[in-house]
Amino acid sequence: MAEEHATTGGMTRQPVDLLEHPEQHATVSRHDLHEFESRLLSDLFAIVEEHTADGRTDIDRERVEAAFIFACEHHADQRRKSGEDFIVHPVGVAKICAGMRLDTATLCAALLHDTVEDTSASLDEVREQFGDEVATLVDGVTKLTGITFQSRDEAQAENYRKMMVAMASDLRVILIKLADRLHNMRTIGAMAKQKQIDKARETLEIYAPIAHRLGIHAIKWELEDLAFATLHPRKYQDIKGLVNQQRIEREDYVEKAGQYLNRELEAVGIRAEISGRAKHFYSIYSKMTRKGREFNEIYDLTAMRVQVDSVKDCYGAVGVIHSLWKPLPGRFKDFIAMPKFNMYQSLHTTVIGPEGLPLEIQIRTREMHDMAEFGVAAHWIYKEGPGARGKPAPPEGESKLKWLRSMLDWQQELQDPKEFMENLKVDLFDEEVFVFTPKGEVKSHAAGATPLDFAYEIHTELGHRCVGAKVNGKIVPLHYQLKSGDIVEVLTSKRERGPSRDWLAVVKTTRARNKIKQWFKQESRQDTEHSGRTLLQEHLTKAGLPPQ
Ligand code: MN
C-alpha cells in the first residue's frame, strides 16, 4: 500500500491529440500536458539540467517524460491528503532522486513508483513500456512500500530483513524508497496526528539510520529534522529559536574568517571554496540529550567547510589552518586516511579562531563532498554512471561490498528477528575505532570491539583459531577494548580449536557473534545427526532389518 492513500477526486481530463513528438512516444498513450503538469516536468528537468551541466549525469529525457506521462494518466483521478494532485508526489520523489544524480532508469522508476500499487497499471504494462530494469525497480519499491514499521516488534524486524534483501539486490530500490519517505515527511502535515507520529518515529528509527549507514547525509539530516519537528514540536522550536538568535553574527564570523583563510591559502597556491555550514537541529538536540549538555555548551555551532581540488591540498590546507589558529587538542580527525564505515572522508579540526572563538572546520575534495552528501549513491555514480569522469573510485569501494556482505550475512544467519533488530541498533549507532593490522592495514570497528571482533573481521577461520592477541606488541586479554591507533596481532593455535561459548559475551560486532553462533549450530547439528543415526541403527537391528 502506498504510504499515503490516494483519494479519488473529481479531476477530469480530456484526451487531446497534441503530442509534441508523436513518433517518439509511439508506445505511450496519448496525453497532453496541462499547464500545471508541464510546470512539474520542467521543475524536474531543471534539476537534471543542473547536473548535466557539470557532466556527471546523462539523462534520457524522452524516457523520463514518457514515465511522467504514464504516471499522470494513471494517477489522474487521485489526490493527496493535502488536496493536491497525486502526481506532485512521484515528481517530488523523482526530483530528490535527480538531486542525487541518479540515472534514467531510477528517475523513471521514481515517477512510476506508486502506479502499480495504487492505480490500474500492472507491472507487465510498466515492463512493456519501460523495460525490465525500470519494472524491476518499481516492483522492488512496491514490495518495500507494503512494509510498515511500527516499532521494534518482531514482525517489524522481519520486515526489516526483507528490506535488507531488497537493498542488497539493487541499491537503487532503497534510494527511491528513501526519497519517497523524504517527500512524504516533507508533506506530513496533512495527515492525522497519530499517523504523523507513527511515521516520524519510524523515520527516526528505521529510515534515518539506513540513510546514515548508506552515507546519504543530505537525506539523513532532513529526515531527522522533519521527524524531530513532528515528534517534539516545542523542543524543535526552542532549538531553532536559539540557533537563529545569533545566526547573523555567526555567519558573519565564518565569512570573515573564511575570507582571511582564503587569502592565506591562495598565497601557498591552494584554491579553495569556503562556506559556512548549518548545524542540523536534531543533531544539536541529540548532543544535548546524549551528553547532557546545555545549548550554550555546544561550541561547534560555528562550522566552516573548505573544499579543495586534491587530497594533497586537504593536508596542505589543514597545515595552513593550524598555523593561523591554534587547534584544540584531540579534535583533529583524519577520515581521509581512515574513512568511516559509510565511506565518509574529510579532515576535521576545531581551532580557536579569530576573536578567540572555537571554530569547527571540515576539509575535503569535491568528490569527498559528494560522498558525504550522497554516500552510496555518489559512489555508484562515480563508479558506474555514464558521466563518470574516468577517475578511479576512492578506495572505499570495498565499503559498499562490505556493507552488502554484512546485510546478507544477517539475512542468512539471524533466525531471530528481534535479535536482528538489536544488532542493527548496535551497528548503526556506535562510534568507530580504527585499528591496524601488523601490516599497517586499517580496519574500522564499532567502539568497544575486542581482538576477537578484529580476528573475525579479517577471516572466520582466524576467529575460530584465535587463542590470544597482542596489541602494540603486548599480550592482552581477549576482552580488551580496542582503541584507535592500536596495532593488533591475532595469536592462533595450529590445530582447529573452535570458539568458546564465553566469547559470545565478549564480542561486540554482529559478524563475530554470528560466526560463533554458526559454528555452534553446525556442531550441534553434527551431534544430532550422529545420535539420530545411531538410534535408527539400533531400532533397525532390533527389528531385524539390515542397518544400512
Ligand atoms: Mn510513494
Convert the pLDDT of each residue in 366-381 to its tens digit: 989 988 888 777 765 5
CA of 247 to the centre of ligand 1 (A): 35
Residue 306 predicted with pLDDT over 90: yes
Cell numbers describing residue 259: 575570507
Pairing of strands 358-365, 303-308: parallel
443 and 462 in contact (C-beta within 8 Å)?
Answer: no
Q: How far apart, in whole angstroms, are the C-alpha atoms of residue 184 and residue 278?
A: 23
Q: Which residues are catalytic?
A: 117-118
DSSP 101-169: T--HHHHHHHHHTTHHHHSS--HHHHHHHHHHHHHHHHHHHHHHHT----SS-HHHHHHHHHHHHHHHH
Question: What pLDDT shows up at residue 379?
Answer: 61
Q: What is the mean pLDDT of residues 314-340?
A: 91
CA of 93 to the centre of ligand 1 (A): 8
CA of 152 to the centre of ligand 1 (A): 23
Query: In this predicted model, what pLDDT tens digit does every residue of 133-177 receive, in sequence order?
Result: 999 999 888 877 666 655 555 555 666 666 666 665 677 888 899
**166 vs 47, higher pLDDT:** 47
232-246, 397-411, 500-514: which has the minimum mean pLDDT? 397-411
The rounded mean pLDDT for the chain is 80
Least Cα distance to 134 among 75, 66, 33 occurs for 66
Selection from 256-260, 401-405, 455-459 with the highest mean pLDDT: 256-260
421 and 160 in contact (C-beta within 8 Å)?
Answer: yes
Question: What pLDDT shows up at residue 476?
Answer: 94
CA of 288 to the centre of ligand 1 (A): 34
227 and 280 in contact (C-beta within 8 Å)?
Answer: no
Question: Within a 10 A sphere around the Cβ of 358, how many other Cβ atoms?
Answer: 15
Rounded percentage of the chain residues whose pLDDT exceeds 70: 76
Q: What is the mean pLDDT of residues 112-132?
A: 92
CA of 114 to the centre of ligand 1 (A): 5
Question: What pLDDT shows up at residue 380?
Answer: 56
Residue 253 predicted with pLDDT over 80: yes
Residue found by looking up cell 575534495 in the block:
365
Cell numbers describing residue 245: 538568535
Least Cα distance to 118 among 63, 175, 77 occurs for 77
Q: How far apart, in whole angstroms, are the C-alpha atoms of residue 173 and residue 106?
A: 8
Measured in degrees and rounded to the nearest 5, phi and psi for residue 509 equal -90, 150
Least Cα distance to 308 among 257, 268, 354 occurs for 268
Residue 396 predicted with pLDDT over 70: no
Selection from 77-81, 227-231, 496-500 with the highest mean pLDDT: 227-231
Edge-first strand order for the sheet with 466-471 is 474-476, 466-471, 488-492
533 and 503 in contact (C-beta within 8 Å)?
Answer: no
CA of 226 to the centre of ligand 1 (A): 17
In the structure, what pLDDT confidence band is assigned to residue 389 with cuts at 50, 70 and 90? very low
223-227, 424-428, 455-459: which has the minimum mean pLDDT? 424-428
Pairing of strands 303-308, 488-492: unpaired
Question: What pLDDT shows up at residue 407?
Answer: 55
Q: What is the mean pLDDT of residues 194-199?
A: 92
Pairing of strands 347-352, 358-365: antiparallel
Q: How far apart, in whole angstroms, are the C-alpha atoms of residue 165 and residue 407?
A: 7
Q: How far apart, in whole angstroms, are the C-alpha atoms of residue 300 and residue 336?
A: 21
**107 vs 6, higher pLDDT:** 107
CA of 3 to the centre of ligand 1 (A): 6
CA of 222 to the centre of ligand 1 (A): 17
Measured in degrees and rounded to the nearest 5, phi and psi for residue 350 equal -120, 130
Q: What is the mean pLDDT of residues 442-466?
A: 88
DSSP letter at 274 equals E
CA of 113 to the centre of ligand 1 (A): 6
CA of 10 to the centre of ligand 1 (A): 21
CA of 136 to the centre of ligand 1 (A): 16
Residue 257 predicted with pLDDT over 80: yes
Within 455-503, strands assigned E span 466-471, 474-476, 488-492
Least Cα distance to 442 among 310, 314, 341, 312 occurs for 341
Cell numbers describing residue 455: 580476528
Question: What pLDDT shows up at residue 56?
Answer: 63
Q: Which pTM value belongs to this model?
A: 0.70
Is the C-alpha dihedral spanning 404, 409, 410, 412 positive or negative? positive
Q: What is the mean pLDDT of residues 9-35?
A: 47
Q: How far apart, in whole angstroms, are the C-alpha atoms of residue 17 and residue 456?
A: 65
Residue 233 amino acid letter: P
Cα distances (Å, whole numbers) of residue 508 to 61, 313, 398, 449, 460: 48, 37, 22, 5, 15
Residue 263 predicted with pLDDT over 80: yes
Question: What pLDDT shows up at residue 215?
Answer: 80
